[in-house]
Amino acid sequence: MGCEQVVIPARTARAFRVRAGQTLRVIDVEGQQVADVFCATATEPAEILSGIVTTQLNKAVYLTTGHVLYSVRRRPLLTIVADTVGRHDLLMGACSAYSYRLRYGVEDHPSCQGLLGAVLAPLGVAPDVPDTFNAFMNVPVAPDGSLSIEVPLSRAGDSVTLRAEVDLLVGVSACPADLSACNGWNPTAIAVEIETPPDA
């Protein structure tokens, strides 16, 4: 198959073109590390991932194997086809300079929004990047509806694999959050493998 593994160093992001039928495997290299996954359709980069359309059409907030990520236009973009962890997040979106200022009073903190926006801009994607699939992020919903950011359940080598349903532009960031339990208080690397199945 000749699958190449791309390492995304801690606190950085990478953009990829993924063709329909290819799979994107997101690997937590050292464990307890979140990867924000953003995507837009290759044919129209304004058609981006929608967290709310995805919660609506799956009727679920914790996504795992069999669930589908949808666009703002209700088109299937990615299907989760394998998952060694079973806990990922869709409700916290991408961290941003704004969220670090609001929560921690910190200015100009590196963020998934900033990192993803920078690597996706050359592909024609607008920099807002509001909604992301946050692989390995552990955000339980309490009975009162409040959200908390807990240490990820992922260990070194754990992965989640998504199959592209249409040609996509995908951004993956190794989340730089170091002021919460998001990445076990220690941001590390993420790896990505893009594979073409034999029958594709």
Query: Cα–Cα distances in Å, from 66 out to 62, 105, 142, 167?
Result: 12, 39, 24, 19
Which CB sits closer to its own copies, 29 or 110? 110
Using only C-alpha atoms, what is the Rg of the chain?
15
Residue 176: phi and psi, rounded to 5, are: -85, 10
Q: Which stretch binds its own copies (CB under 8 A): 2-10, 16-24, 56-64, 163-171?
A: 56-64
User: Taking the CB of residue 130, how many other CB atoms lie within 10 A of it?
Assistant: 14
Minimum CB separation from its own copies for residue 62, in Å?
3
Residue 52: phi and psi, rounded to 5, are: -75, -40
* C-alpha–C-alpha distance, residues 109 and 118, integer Å: 15
Of positions 6, 60, 82, 106, contacts its own copies by CB under 8 A: 60
Q: With residue 115 as reference, give the H or E element that holds it.
A: helix 112-120
By CB under 8 A, residue 37 contacts its own copies: no
* C-alpha–C-alpha distance, residues 176 and 57, integer Å: 30
By CB under 8 A, residue 156 contacts its own copies: no
Residue from 65, 64, 62 nearest 141 by CA: 62
Of positions 53, 120, 166, 192, contacts its own copies by CB under 8 A: 53
By CB under 8 A, residue 131 contacts its own copies: yes
Which CB sits closer to its own copies, 109 or 191? 109
Q: Which of residues 133-152 bind its own copies (CB under 8 A)?
A: 141, 144-148
Minimum CB separation from its own copies for residue 4, in Å?
31
By CB under 8 A, residue 5 contacts its own copies: no
Residue 160: phi and psi, rounded to 5, are: -130, 135
Which CB sits closer to its own copies, 74 or 155? 74
* C-alpha–C-alpha distance, residues 70 and 55, integer Å: 9
By CB under 8 A, residue 106 contacts its own copies: no
By CB under 8 A, residue 44 contacts its own copies: no
Q: List residues binding its own copies (CB under 8 A).
A: 50-53, 55-57, 59-62, 72-74, 90-93, 96, 98-99, 102, 128, 130-131, 141, 144-148
